[in-house]
Structure 1
């Protein structure tokens, strides 16, 4: 079962995500700010999603990722409040990594953010 909660969310697109050292810093920042972070790594495009209860924490995380100087860094969906679906057993922070865009999209759909994600990626227009 899932429930709806309000959270601040952001979506980042980069050319690619392959550096394990940079990913370790992304994971560390997620833990520091108590955010849930989903990353599509291993090739192009690189995609990162963050959610948390605090807008400042999400903004700080986005700034930290930008400081890692990923190629073609774009915050395609700026931190904003959204209603998302989470599993009843889910709690605050966490880090997930997927290898395909399809898996990433499926996770966004489960959270009720399918259209938001597709708009950010440029697959559909507003």
Structure 2
């Protein structure tokens, strides 16, 4: 299982979100997206190549202040009962794209997924 984290200035365009959703299905990725300001995207998939292709699709949408804050790498679950190896969409959100409306809700799902500390480091929170 591989994952990556992207931060942008904001995510508001429904047209771009629809493109992200199509790319998630095309590359067999599970994506968690926090719309608004800041825009945050977490992606995971079984293959590093699929994560990389999805990140390229995001980059091609030319989001303002696009930052790949954590490059595609092997997922390191922090929890003992972690869901590593469960396949795309394990513990927290299904394959495809799930959108949340707040950073707090996004963080809660990162904690459930077992990557909360990793996410906080990537976002520069500690």
Task: Tell me by how many angstroms 1:75 deviates.
Answer: 0.5
TM-score, structure 2 as length reference: 0.87
Q: Deviations over 1:61-80 (max 9, x none)?
A: 00110000000000001000
Aligned match of 2:95 = 93
For 2:117 and 2:23, locate their aligned partners in 1 and report how far apart those are by CA, in whole Å. Answer: 27
Aligned match of 1:74 = 67
Task: Tell me by how many angstroms 1:94 deviates.
Answer: 2.2
SS in structure 2 at match of 1:77 = strand
For 1:38 and 1:65, locate their aligned partners in 2 and report how far apart those are by CA, in whole Å. Answer: 13
For 1:37 and 1:121, locate their aligned partners in 2 and report how far apart those are by CA, in whole Å. Answer: 17
Aligned match of 1:3 = none
SS in structure 2 at match of 1:116 = helix
For 2:16 and 2:97, locate their aligned partners in 1 and report how far apart those are by CA, in whole Å. Answer: 14
TM-score, structure 1 as length reference: 0.87
Aligned match of 2:22 = 28
Task: Tell me by how many angstroms 1:50 deviates.
Answer: 0.4
Task: Tell me by how many angstroms 1:55 deviates.
Answer: 0.3
Task: Tell me by how many angstroms 1:83 deviates.
Answer: 3.5
For 1:9 and 1:115, locate their aligned partners in 2 and report how far apart those are by CA, in whole Å. Answer: 14
For 1:82 and 1:29, locate their aligned partners in 2 and report how far apart those are by CA, in whole Å. Answer: 20
Structure 1 residue ranges, 4+ long, deviating more than 3 angstroms after superposition: 83-86
Count of residues in Structure 1 that have an aligned counterpart in Structure 2: 117
Q: In angstroms, what is the RMSD of aligned CA positions?
A: 1.9
Q: 1:64 aligns with which of 57, 70, 74?
A: 57
Q: Which has the higher strand share?
A: 1
